[in-house]
Structure 1
């Protein structure tokens, strides 16, 4: 037993929130830990385990129950019910999972838990093991929620601009949507504020970002919690290439389009000539917005690769596909996004601005046009445009629709305008700094080494 403990060192149990955008960053972090000699076990829900064949040659995969083993979140009648049931079932089955491993040759000595699951820290403390809170959103967004949770930012917001240390002055449209649109999705807002309900008891606070990207806010946040940046958590193949065979995220809960030849299609296009459109797995655009997007693309006359669900493709204007195909555009229902963004043909990423997509674009040096929809996306757009200066945020009309002229104008500016030329300088800067962060001796790499060292002592 002692020999095996010595061989593996610490054993980390990683507990992500059960959605693809939360599982993949934590899975990638586990791969980093394993590459440095630490044993890591990723715990996914029974439902997700049934829904996908998640396998890894290095990270152990185990399961727990969130109370919705047969149908996932779709079984829940409300988000409130879902969260209550997840805490009750999750606390019980997480404890059982820990007990199982404690009887093995490699007992768990740290739980890395998603910040959406603060009850996991209580379970860890019951067993006398370390707890590390893992934030999947940016430091800036997390700090806004921290201020709101502690009453340092009064809701609804009435005084503008909002001034928070480490952040630029924020207008109402720059804030996360659950704060800027007061009363919208109150259960989700409570979920986000509850991330900080017991974070002061956590032994570590890990964030999927890198220091040079959010230097000012990181410096401020470390004054109030033991926070360290460990990102960007994208496969090593696209950064330092130090982890063998790490070229994708492993988990995909959405069916890849078997007929898609998007990479072959991109390979036929000139360098920097293609606009890539993808709005994540949770965004559903209204028919009018899809029409405006389509016509903005058509009028711009750029090549485009559009990831659109079958239900969204049905909303496209009649004859649009036929009129624009002529080798100008390609529609797919899902794409290998990292391969797409790293392709030489990529010129611009038209995105909803979710954090995973944003940090991928930053890490791969792709300028963005952001059309935020909800949650953290509006604040990510603020930073992309005004702080990192590697993209533009589109402006919606009084009905919340982004018109074709606005879409066309932003695409032209990024693809061929003077601002676009300046943006490319900044995208290269952030790409280089992302690489620097994870390479040996970089800030994120050093932080992970310190984390592992503390686990082993």
Structure 2
């Protein structure tokens, strides 16, 4: 969303970027001395409203968050918009909303403001979500969103078959949360058609079948930051450690395992230990992002036998810069869609380790459809062993076919950004619509 905002600002639009208070504070804390520069001189202003939960409430409890947001935020957002418009400096003419917050379009419609949906997930997930009534009528899921049985299904003859275990709202780790999230989904899906435009971070070449099912969705991807090795990205949850770029400069090309699991994934100690020892067992240089979440009860400790001498461990990475570095050999990823797009756009082979939600489908797409990565197999206790990690690291790095396919996918994605590319044209058409 922030990258999209920056691209709009480049075309002269004033952006008011609205976050929840909780997320807003995280973003500001990662920016250090950039905050004043951005809010005083930039076309992007950062503001926030409460999500309704107490400050100490765990935001990883997505069910609670969904319930609270729907009951609290619409009236607060309406007041924020009215206050901004009363000042008269820049009246709000369009609201661009994360697709999973599409209830905001109800507020926009009430206030007579045109709306746009920005989808941060894959087109396949959009198509699946928009076809919930069809899934219920077809007996794939019940009225609570739960699969009626373990099976494969397809929402269209042109789409690759999906496994019922990859339905993203059934992978939320908590049955109560799943019901709360499904109720929330039904609400936002009902509001989607209030938007005049849908845009998404994907491309025609990447997901032709899925995009054919949601013709309203215009791909404008891959959305990538402009990279240099001296500036930090705007809109991060933690401060990026740029020292890793100097470390990467000292490593041979195609040698480094990059390991990062996004802002949400949690490990238990047994799995964390196996991961550490698996990286060491590989005898390859590695760059490992180990978050140190504030006030987190999920603090992991490194095993005594782990030395990590061949690697570098940091708290948060400038990920796109890292993935674009020639030293990177493969990406051990949770397969969130942003990470997926960034990895694919840099031609980096994947080792897929999904955690929940749409990541499980993204992993299958990377491994089975694009064939640019491998997955891990867990043991009888559900743990991915150090030996399995070592085996798959060497297998993916040594596979010339995977590397070749990764480069071809990269070329297809980046061609969309050139003048005359389909994503570039879609974005410029959107700009023209905004200016009308």
Same fold by TM-score, threshold 0.5 exceeded? yes
User: Retained in 2: the 8 A contact 1:112–1:134?
Assistant: yes
| 1:168 alignment counterpart | 160
1:262 to 215, 230, 244: 244
1:408–1:312 CA distance, 2 compared to 1 (3 A): farther
User: Retained in 2: the 8 A contact 1:66–1:87?
Assistant: no
1:456–1:30 CA distance, 2 compared to 1 (3 A): same
User: Retained in 1: the 8 A contact 2:328–2:348?
Assistant: yes
Q: How does 1:1-400 map to 2 (within 5 A)?
A: 26-51=1-26, 52=28, 53=31, 54=35, 56=38, 57-68=41-52, 71=55, 74=58, 79-103=62-86, 104-150=88-134, 151-152=136-137, 153-154=140-141, 155-158=146-149, 160-165=151-156, 166-176=158-168, 178=170, 183=175, 185-186=177-178, 187-222=180-215, 226-237=216-227, 249-256=233-240, 261-310=243-292, 314-321=300-307, 324-325=308-309, 328-400=310-382
Provide the C-alpha distance between the structure 1 equivalents of 2:339 and 2:60, rounded to a whole number of angstroms: 29
1:66–1:441 CA distance, 2 compared to 1 (3 A): farther
Count of residue pairs the alignment pairs up: 413
TM-score by length of structure 1 reads: 0.82
User: Retained in 1: the 8 A contact 2:19–2:48?
Assistant: yes
Do structure 1's residue 446 and structure 2's residue 425 form an aligned pair? Answer: yes
User: Retained in 2: the 8 A contact 1:230–1:444?
Assistant: yes
TM-superposed deviation, 1:41: 2.3
Provide the C-alpha distance between the structure 2 equivalents of 1:405 and 1:300, rounded to a whole number of angstroms: 9
1:261–1:109 CA distance, 2 compared to 1 (3 A): closer
TM-superposed deviation, 1:382: 0.5
User: Retained in 2: the 8 A contact 1:280–1:352?
Assistant: yes
User: Retained in 2: the 8 A contact 1:290–1:312?
Assistant: no
CA deviation profile, 1:160-207 (whole Å, cap 9, x unmatched): 221122431123444436269893731234434543122122211222
1:73–1:203 CA distance, 2 compared to 1 (3 A): farther
Do structure 1's residue 423 and structure 2's residue 406 form an aligned pair? Answer: no
User: Retained in 2: the 8 A contact 1:41–1:62?
Assistant: yes
1:210–1:59 CA distance, 2 compared to 1 (3 A): farther
TM-superposed deviation, 1:231: 1.9
User: Retained in 2: the 8 A contact 1:362–1:431?
Assistant: yes
1:189–1:201 CA distance, 2 compared to 1 (3 A): same
Provide the C-alpha distance between the structure 1 equivalents of 2:390 and 2:243, rounded to a whole number of angstroms: 26
TM-superposed deviation, 1:28: 0.9
* Unpaired runs of at least 5, structure 1: 1-25, 239-244
State the SS of the aligned residue for 1:409: helix
TM-superposed deviation, 1:349: 0.5
1:383–1:432 CA distance, 2 compared to 1 (3 A): same
1:117–1:73 CA distance, 2 compared to 1 (3 A): farther
1:194–1:450 CA distance, 2 compared to 1 (3 A): same
State the SS of the aligned residue for 2:162: coil
Moved over 6 A (4+): none
TM-superposed deviation, 1:379: 0.5
Provide the C-alpha distance between the structure 2 equivalents of 1:358 and 1:294, rounded to a whole number of angstroms: 23
TM-superposed deviation, 1:381: 0.5
State the SS of the aligned residue for 1:185: helix
* Unpaired runs of at least 5, structure 2: none
1:414 to 396, 401, 406: 396
TM-superposed deviation, 1:149: 4.9
State the SS of the aligned residue for 2:233: coil
Q: Please report the RMSD computed on the Cα atoms of aligned residues, expressed in angstroms.
A: 2.8
Provide the C-alpha distance between the structure 1 equivalents of 2:278 and 2:426, rounded to a whole number of angstroms: 44
1:410–1:312 CA distance, 2 compared to 1 (3 A): farther
CA deviation profile, 1:202-249 (whole Å, cap 9, x unmatched): 211222212211111101221xxx2111222221348xxxxxx99753
State the SS of the aligned residue for 2:117: strand
State the SS of the aligned residue for 1:198: helix
TM-superposed deviation, 1:404: 2.2
User: Retained in 1: the 8 A contact 2:115–2:195?
Assistant: yes
